[in-house]
Each structure stands twice: as structure tokens, then as C-alpha cells.
């Protein structure tokens, strides 16, 4: 029914209302409403799930905050609005000439939501007419659908302005900045995650240090920690460093949990033991726990925090004769347990230069032959990651590569064989909620 018939329909409606009013009384006056607002609206289910719609009355817009999966475009191209609550009497929709092959230009038509399906591959315009037919209100209805595969890992390469590829370097991300810290105590910073522009920082608090053993960041990505000359230092900007006063030397910096720096130290009898230093307390005490097992070799340590179970996890550089790489786990820093799968098929293959990180609620590791990612939900059982979670084919081969994950779910990798810096992220973490 075309909009040209609207005056006739409106006239019939008014005639009926007036006739009814005359039959009942000659003294009562009926005032027709001026409300042309859409108060509620519900779309049909998509893949069996409801699609919550937000009504922005200030801007006359209706939309879904959380975009639908990318393959939903074949569903929303012909879908019903199952319920709509308005204060008006008529709703019209504008037929989009881009979607209606028989149209030469956009046209309005009276809309019956109970029978007329709509094509939401483009925004749809609905006009609500109040009961008095003098007031109307146009709404633009947009159904957002992802245009990218959310589970695909996308990469981009950058060429840093300085040489970052020194062996033994650390790559960390805190407070929207990238840092590279070299073993000879040089600190480079990329402001605001601009990976092509780096600044060599002038540091304070690291005087006399010629070799940095290890660098880690805090869980909430706001502080850096490093180990040098058996002492711990911290910094919030990479330039100003403060020594953490301790009653014992630190042999190894293992990981940082929510409230502890996990370390290796020696007892008064000279026994190398696991231990921790409590964060945010005015104390110099290092608390030591169990002795290091013989197989716990600290030539190369990579660690992460497993948020699913609130535990720290680390991976060591395996001896070349080893067939597998293993994860060690600790809740408190005093004891570390080696996680060994009951099935050889589920063990992580030997990684010569291991990297371990937590991403998308899983553990990932790489650093072996062929530059493959391996994933695990528990640190025990490992599988090769899906085909969507892979390095590009032109990535360099394995080496002493360094990786960090920032607060925006970007993975940053600086390769050992080149100065290239690569940034990767699952597409779903780039899908912003529509405002």
C-alpha cells in the first residue's frame, strides 16, 4: 500500500472517530494524541538468539550495540520486526532503491511489521505518525554486522626508527607505550604505541649497571621490574628507576603476580630456593619456600599470568636433548609445580627459544621449528593452534624473538633475525561496541 493512500486511510480513521464521538455525546471533545515515539522494538531471532536493540531517542536512531557475526548478513537481509510499541497510529518505511531492484528512487510505503520483512543490510528508515497525523518522527534502524572474521589473527609489520634486535633484549608494553630494554641497560620507548618512532631514554637509578638479567611488567600494565646485579628495580615510565630494598640478593626474577614478585634466592645455608617479595608493603623481607629441583634450569625464563586460575606460569629453555617443553605453575611463588601431560601426544613440542603468553583465555607458546603457535587451556595439554591463529607465511624463522601483549589485546613481536616489529590481534578484539 503506497503512501499516496495515506490521506484516504487517515480520513476514514478520523471519520470513524468523529462518528463514534457524535453517537456518544454532543458535549465531549476528543483530542487525538501527538505521540510519535517508538517506545520498544524487538527483532526476530538471529541464529536462535535475541538481538537486543537500543533506542537513541535524542538522535532518532535504533541499533544493536553488539554487532552480529559476520555471516549474519544472509539472515538480516530478510527479517521481521516481531514487536514494536509506539504511541502513533501509522508507521511507514522507506524502500531503498539500492535494495529494491524495481525502484528508480527511494519511496515510502505503509509498514505492517507483522507481515512485512525488512532488508537490514543497509539502514532502514521508519516514520511514525501520531494519532493526530500532524506529528511524525523518523527513525533510522541500523543492524550492525561484523565485516571481518572475529577469530582470524591479523598482522601488520612496522620498521622501527632504531635498531632493536640486540640479543637478550626485553619487549614490554605499559600505559599505552612500548619499551625495549637491552641487556646493557639501554631503554627505548615508542610513545602512544607508535611502533615506527622510538626514543632513547636517559635513565636514572641504574648507575653502574652494565648487565640487566631480566625484565617483566606488572599485571595491570602500569609498572616495569628488572633484575640486575642481584637487585630488583621498578619504574613507571622506563626512565626513572628505584631499587627495591631487600634483605637478600635475588638470583632470578621469575614472574609478577597480583601482589608478589616471584624470585629465586638462597637460604642462609646457600640452598637455591623459590621465594617472593610482597608488593606495596614497606618491607625488605624475601620469603623463601621450597628448594629448586635440579631440572629447574634458569638459563632462559619466560612467564605469564594465567588469569583463568589466578596463577603464574612459566616456561624454561629446555635442554637440547629434551623432546618436549613444559610449563611450571605457582600460586604463591614459594612452590612451583611442573605440569606434565599424561599423553605424549598432548605435550608441547620442544621449543628451542620459547615464548609463553596468555591470550583470549588460553595459553600460547612458540619458538620452535616452523614458527607455529601451540595453545593450551591448562598448561598440561597442548595442541597446534587453529589455522586462523597463525604467523604469516613470510615471517622470519625462529630465534630469540621477544613478544609482549598490551592492554588492547595486541601482540607485538620483535624478531631476532631482523629489526622488524609486527603487531597482531584477533579481529574480534577490534570490533568496537557501537555508540
Most confident of the following: 1-15, 29-43, 190-204: 190-204
- How does DSSP classify residue 80? -
pLDDT tens for residues 348-402? 999 888 899 999 999 999 987 777 899 999 999 999 999 999 987 777 666 678 8
**106 confidence band (pLDDT: 50, 70, 90):** low
Q: What is the pLDDT of residue 14?
A: 43
Cα 50 from Cα 20, distance rounded (Å) = 41
CB 312 within 8 A of CB 302: no
Instruction: Flag whether pLDDT at 169 surpasses 60.
Output: yes
**16 confidence band (pLDDT: 50, 70, 90):** very low
CB 339 within 8 A of CB 328: yes
Q: Which residues contact 140 (CB under 8 A, 6 or more apart)?
A: 60, 61, 62, 123, 124, 125
Neighbours of 135 (CB within 10 A): 17
**90 confidence band (pLDDT: 50, 70, 90):** confident
What's the rounded mean pLDDT across residues 337-343? 95
> Domain segments of the chain: what residues?
3-142
pLDDT tens for residues 222-238? 999 999 999 999 999 99
Instruction: Flag whether pLDDT at 434 surpasses 60.
Output: no
**151 confidence band (pLDDT: 50, 70, 90):** confident
Instruction: Flag whether pLDDT at 295 surpasses 60.
Output: yes
**8 confidence band (pLDDT: 50, 70, 90):** very low
CB 93 within 8 A of CB 111: yes
**63 confidence band (pLDDT: 50, 70, 90):** very high
Percent of the chain with pLDDT over 90: 51
- How does DSSP classify residue 427? G
Distance set, CA 103 to CA 100, 106, 118 (Å) = 6, 7, 16
**101 confidence band (pLDDT: 50, 70, 90):** low
Q: What is the pLDDT of residue 290?
A: 96
Q: What is the pLDDT of residue 29?
A: 62
Instruction: Flag whether pLDDT at 337 surpasses 90.
Output: yes
Mean residue pLDDT across the chain: 85
pLDDT tens for residues 416-426? 767 788 899 99
CB 160 within 8 A of CB 419: yes
Cα 161 from Cα 174, distance rounded (Å) = 20
Q: What is the pLDDT of residue 43?
A: 92
**283 confidence band (pLDDT: 50, 70, 90):** low
Q: What topology is assigned to 3-142 in CATH? A: Immunoglobulin-like (2.60.40)
Cα 221 from Cα 9, distance rounded (Å) = 64
Report the run of H or E that residue 18 belongs to, with start and end. helix 6-24
What's the rounded mean pLDDT across residues 59-72? 87
What's the rounded mean pLDDT across residues 43-53? 90
Measured in degrees and rounded to the nearest 5, phi and psi for residue 192 equal 55, 35
**1 confidence band (pLDDT: 50, 70, 90):** very low
Distance set, CA 285 to CA 163, 217, 245, 271, 282 (Å) = 39, 21, 9, 17, 9
Task: State the number of CA atoms in the 13 A half-sphere of 350 facing the CB.
Answer: 7
Percent of the chain with pLDDT over 70: 86
Amino acid at each position: 500500500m503506497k503512501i499516496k493512500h495515506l490521506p484516504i486511510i487517515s480520513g476514514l480513521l478520523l471519520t470513524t472517530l468523529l462518528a463514534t464521538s457524535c453517537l456518544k455525546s454532543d458535549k465531549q471533545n476528543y483530542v487525538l494524541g501527538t505521540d510519535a515515539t517508538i517506545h520498544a522494538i524487538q527483532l526476530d531471532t538471529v541464529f536462535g538468539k535475541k538481538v537486543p536493540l537500543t533506542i537513541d531517542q535524542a538522535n532518532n536512531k535504533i541499533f544493536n550495540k553488539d554487532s552480529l557475526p559476520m555471516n549474519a548478513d544472509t539472515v538480516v537481509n530478510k527479517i521481521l520486526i516481531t514487536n514494536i510499541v509506539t504511541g502513533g497510529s501509522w508507521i511507514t518505511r522507506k524502500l531503498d532503491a539500492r535494495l529494491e531492484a524495481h525502484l528508480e528512487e527511494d519511496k515510502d510505503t505503509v509498514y505492517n511489521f507483522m507481515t512485512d520483512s525488512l532488508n537490514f543490510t543497509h539502514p532502514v528508515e521508519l516514520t511514525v505518525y501520531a494519532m493526530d497525523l500532524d506529528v511524525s518522527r523518523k527513525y533510522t534502524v541500523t543492524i550492525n554486522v561484523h565485516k571481518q572474521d572475529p577469530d582470524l589473527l591479523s598482522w601488520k609489520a612496522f620498521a622501527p626508527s632504531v635498531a632493536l634486535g640486540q640479543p637478550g633484549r626485553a619487549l614490554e608494553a605499559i600505559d599505552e607505550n612500548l619499551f625495549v630494554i637491552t641487556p646493557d641497560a639501554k631503554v627505548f620507548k615508542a610513545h602512544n604505541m607508535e611502533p615506527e618512532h622510538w626514543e632513547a631514554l636517559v635513565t636514572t637509578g641504574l648507575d653502574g649497571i652494565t648487565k640487566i638479567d631480566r625484565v617483566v611488567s606488572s599485571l595491570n600494565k602500569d609498572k616495569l621490574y628488572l633484575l640486575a646485579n642481584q637487585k630488583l628495580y621498578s619504574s613507571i615510565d622506563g626512565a626513572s628507576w628505584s631499587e627495591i630494598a631487600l634483605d637478600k640478593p635475588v638470583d632470578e626474577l621469575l614472574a609478577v603476580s597480583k601482589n608478589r614478585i616471584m624470585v629465586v634466592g638462597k637460604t642462609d645455608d646457600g640452598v637455591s630456593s623459590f621465594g617472593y617479595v610482597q608488593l606495596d608493603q614497606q618491607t625488605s623481607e624475601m620469603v623463601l619456600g621450597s628448594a629448586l629441583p635440579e631440572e629447574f634450569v634458569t638459563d632462559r625464563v619466560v612467564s605469564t599470568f594465567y588469569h583463568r586460575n589466578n596463577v603464574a606460569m612459566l616456561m624454561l629453555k629446555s635442554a637440547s636433548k629434551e623432546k618436549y617443553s613444559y610449563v611450571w605453575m605457582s600460586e604463591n611463588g614459594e612452590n612451583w609445580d611442573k605440569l606434565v601431560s599424561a599423553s605424549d601426544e598432548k605435550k608441547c613440542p620442544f621449543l628451542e627459544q620459547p615464548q609463553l603468553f596468555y591470550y583470549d583465555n588460553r595459553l600460547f607458546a612458540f619458538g620452535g621449528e616452523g614458527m607455529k603457535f601451540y595453545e593450551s587451556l591448562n598448561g598440561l595439554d597442548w595442541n597446534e593452534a587453529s589455522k586462523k591463529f597463525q604467523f604469516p607465511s613470510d615471517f622470519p624463522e625462529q630465534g630469540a624473538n621477544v613478544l609482549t601483549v598490551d592492554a588492547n589485546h595486541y601482540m607485538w613481536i620483535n624478531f631476532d633475525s631482523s629489526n622488524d616489529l609486527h603487531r597482531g590481534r584477533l579481529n574480534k578484539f577490534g570490533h568496537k561496541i557501537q555508540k
